[in-house]
Amino acid sequence: MKSALEEILSSLGGMSAFVKPGQTVLVKPNLFSAHPPEHGVTTHPEVVRQVALLCIEAGARRVWVGDSPVGLQPEARLWSLTGMDKALAGTRAELKSWKGPQIPVNCGDDILAVPEWYRDIDVIVSLPKLKTHGLTTITCGLKNVYGMVNGPAKSQFHVKYPSPATMSSFLVRVFAAFRPALTIADAIVAMEGNGPAHGQPLSAGLLLASRDAVALDAVACAALKISPATVPMIRMAAASGLGIMEAPGIQRTGSGLTRLETLRMKPSVARYLGRIPEVFFRLTPCLVRLHPKIRNRLCDRCGTCVRTCPKNAINKNRPADFPVIDRRECIDCFCCIESCPKSAIAARLYIANLFFVMQQRRDGAAEK
């Protein structure tokens, strides 16, 4: 692993081109939720370990490793299941908690909450996982930075920015607010299908690295056999001057290029969402939406979704009951989908009938 990392970093000047002696470095993997490495959901722990060691070799005074997962998840369990605790054992790298005092970071019209220790960071090294995504088509370098935002706040941003276009615009602003110096994507085991949590692992055998996360994501689109210009997040980031999207301006080197070109990752449900005009998301969000649906045949009634839901919209009357989602309370943040250990909750494109919408409005008027 170390030799592979050194190979991909050699054309960029090595880790010493990004990390200087005495600096505090945040190594930011994708710790989306508590899944073991073989599921392909989170950055592989050996990648994290070797990058942390390279930062130490470059002279970093402190190397911190961390990410804020979706929803409310015990960090000790997250670090254990993802292998982070064992990966960093015996090194000077330290796992950092997102709990505790928070400070605000301006992001356009939004205020983001991050840990107080963020003030002490000199360099961010981002370690995304290459995966498909049900809303943004792909999650890699650009979207990985969203993990800097405190987990419980993420659900509210999903409500505020429900469409692929609005969420992509928001994610570009988040990336600009934190902007890592270096991005190294773990595509050793990627994820295809309905990622980012419950797609299918795909053995890709690749590492991608760049100082330009926009260019990295654009190159990664080759695995999906799509143009980067069709991904709103990449297109908007390039238009904002955050990086290069067009192939002629991107210098590509390394032994994995042929492998990347031969991959064919199955797309997510985002391919259907992209066909829905933005006006429908703006004017009729209650009519056209992605909505979580519990698949009872896969559910083991563990109650994780009930405990994770930020709006208490999932109910179980008795321990033996299957959970039920209350559509009137659900805000479609997908914390339940992303936290379910059995992949028993899926996103479904939901087109409401007018009777249901009118009934909701009558109920709301009656409550007032």
| DSSP for 175-192, written as a single string | HHHH--SEEEEEEEEEEE
pLDDT for the residue 349: 63
Residues 206-244 have pLDDT tens digits of 999 999 999 999 999 999 999 999 999 999 999 999 999
Region 92-103 average pLDDT: 95
Q: What is the pTM of this model?
A: 0.86
Q: Of the given ranges (84-93, 235-244, 258-267, 281-290), which has the lowest mean pLDDT?
A: 281-290
Region 71-94 average pLDDT: 92
Q: Taking 50 as the threshold, does the pLDDT of residue 368 lie above it?
A: no
pLDDT for the residue 85: 97
**pLDDT-based confidence at 364, cuts 50/70/90?**
very low
Share of the chain above pLDDT 70, in %: 89
**pLDDT-based confidence at 193, cuts 50/70/90?**
very high
Q: Taking 70 as the threshold, does the pLDDT of residue 314 lie above it?
A: yes
Q: CA 166, 170, 173, 175 torsion: positive or negative?
A: negative
d(CA 177, CA 145): 9
Domains, the chain:
2-271 (3.40.50), 284-367 (3.30.70.20)
CB neighbours of residue 66 within 10 Å: 22
Region 333-355 average pLDDT: 71
Region 78-106 average pLDDT: 96
